[in-house]
Amino acid sequence: MERAFKFKLLPTPKQAIKLLNSLDACRHLHNAALEERITAWKCCRKRITYKMQSKEIPEIMKAYPEFKSVQHHVLQRALKRLDRAYAAFFKRIGDRKAGKNACKVGFPRFKGRNRYRTLEFDRTAFSLKGDQLRLSKVGTSKVVLHRSIPKEAVVSVAYVKRDAVGDWWVMFSLELPDAPVRTPKTAIGVDVGLLHLATCSDGTVFEPVRSLKSGLKRLRREQRRLSRRKKGGTNRERQRVIVARTHRTIERRRSDWLNKVSRKLADSADVVVFEDLRVKNMLQNRCLSRAISDAAWGELIRKTTYKAEGAGGMVLRVKTQDSSQECSNCGRMVQKDLSERTHRCVCGTVMDRDLNSAIVIVKRGIGKLQGIVPTFCGVSHDCAAPTGGTPGRDACGETGNTAARAVAPDLVEAGSPPF
C-alpha cells in the first residue's frame, strides 16, 4: 500500500534560491511542452508524446544554461506531469461519451508563477539520512521529522513544495507492505451532518470544529485589506502572505480535528459504514454550501478509509435513500422534515434522528458485507414476500437483521448486543 508522509523542509537561503530557479525552469518547460503539443495538433494533426519531448531535454539543457542547474530527472518528471494531465483529460472525455458520471472536463493549462509550486525528485535524485535530505543539484537540507518513517517503508518519490505562505515542505511517497486483513467481527455506522459532524450507531457524537466559521471574520478583514493594496507593490505581497496564512490556519484546524475523529472511528470497529454521499451535488444548495464545505465530509471519509485499511479494517459505503426516514427497529417509513430532530415510530421507538440514521446505515452495511442487499423498507431481496407482508420482515416472518445474523453470527454492531 502507498502512503505519503509530509514534513517541513528548512533550506538555507542559497538552497531556497536554487529551488525557486528549479520551479521556474520546470514551469517554463511545462508551458513550452504544452504549447508544442497544441501547435502540432492544430497545424499538422500530429500527436506529441512524452517520449518525444523527453528526448529533447539534453538539447534544451545545452541551449539554455538556466536548465543546467536543474537535475535531469526533475525535468523529466515535469514532462510526465503534463502527460498525466493529458491522459486524464482524454479519459474524462471518454467517460462522458460513454455516459459515465465523470467529473468536469478541464484541458491542461499554462502555468503562471504562482500556479507551479511542486518539484518531483525520484529515488535517484535524493537521499534521506536521519533528518538530512540531500537533493541533487540543490544540497543537503534539514527536515523536521515530527514522526518516524517506518523501517520497512520504501521511499520512491520526494515532492518538494512551496506553499502560498512561502514555506517549503517535502512529501515522501512510501511503499508499505499491506496490513493483514482482520476478520470483521464488529461494525459501526456513521451518519454525517451539519449539526453534528458524525453520529455513530453506538451513540458516540463528534461535534464539528467549524474552522471556517470561526475564522471568517478575520479572513474577510484581511481580504478587504488586500483588495485595497496596489497591484505589484510590496505591501500587497505582504498582505497576500497574511491572507494565505489565515487560510492555512483554518485548513490546519479542520485537518487536525478530522484526523482525530477518523482515527477514533477507524479504531472503534473492524468495519466502518458511511453513506455514499454526492457532496458535489449537495454543494449546489446556496444556503448550505459553505457549511457543507466547512464540515468536509468527503475528507473525513477519505481519512477514515486509509486509516482503517492501514489497521486491517475496511470502510463501506451504502445507499443514502431514506436512511433518515426508515425506522431502525421495525423498518417502517416515518416521514420527517429536516427541522424535526427526533425519530418517533408507531412501534414505540423514540430516539435522536441522527442516531436512528446511523443504526440504519450499519444494518445496511452488514447486509452489503454479507451479500444481502436489503431494500429501503427493510425487506431482503433474497427472501422477500411476493405480496403483502410486514415492512421489515421477510417471507419467513423474520426481520432482515435476523437474516443477516444467520449468515454471519459473529458480526455485531460495535457497542451493542448481537442482532
In this prediction, residues 36-61 reach a mean pLDDT of 93
The Cα 382–Cα 394 span in angstroms is: 9
Contact at 8 Å (CB) between 201 and 189?
A: yes
Q: Is 354 a catalytic residue?
A: yes
Residue 317 has pLDDT above 80, yes or no: yes
Q: Is 412 helix (H, G, I), strand (E, B) or coil?
A: strand
What residues have CB less than 8 Å from 163, skipping those under 6 apart?
117, 169, 244, 248
Chain Cα centroid distance, residue 286: 23
The Cα 399–Cα 385 span in angstroms is: 12
Q: Is 222 a catalytic residue?
A: no
Question: In DSSP terms, which residues pair with 342 in a beta bridge?
Answer: 352
| Active-site pick, 120, 270, 275, 294 | 275
Which pLDDT tens digit goes with each residue over 105-162?
A: 789 999 998 899 999 999 999 999 999 999 999 999 999 999 999 889 999 999 999 9
| Active-site pick, 326, 354, 394, 413 | 354
Tell me which residue has cell 458535489: 280
Q: Is 191 a catalytic residue?
A: yes
Q: What is the band of 102 on the pLDDT scale with cuts at 50, 70, 90?
A: low
| Active-site pick, 83, 191, 270, 413 | 191
The Cα 270–Cα 365 span in angstroms is: 12
Give the pLDDT score at 417: 35
Give the pLDDT score at 67: 93
Residue 89 has pLDDT above 70, yes or no: yes
| Crossing angle (nearest 10°) for helices 353-369 and 400-407 | 40
Residue 69 has pLDDT above 70, yes or no: yes
Q: What is the band of 208 on the pLDDT scale with cuts at 50, 70, 90?
A: very high
Pairing state between β 350-352 and 342-344: antiparallel
| 266 CB-contact burial (10 Å; exposed 0-12 / middle 13-18 / buried 19+) | buried
Q: What percentage of the chain carries pLDDT values higher than 90? A: 62
Contact at 8 Å (CB) between 266 and 304?
A: yes
Residue 239 has pLDDT above 90, yes or no: yes
Give the pLDDT score at 406: 32
Residue 247 grid cell:
487560510
Which pLDDT tens digit goes with each residue over 155-207?
A: 999 999 999 999 999 999 999 988 888 888 889 999 999 999 999 999 999 99
Helix H segments across 269-346? 279-282, 289-295, 297-310
Q: What percentage of the chain carries pLDDT values higher than 70? A: 88
Hey, what domains does the chain have and what are their CATH numbers? 2-175 (no CATH), 180-209+248-419 (3.30.420)
The Cα 151–Cα 156 span in angstroms is: 14
The dihedral of CA 132, 135, 141, 147: what is its sign? negative
Give the pLDDT score at 95: 84
Which pLDDT tens digit goes with each residue over 257-269?
A: 999 999 999 999 9
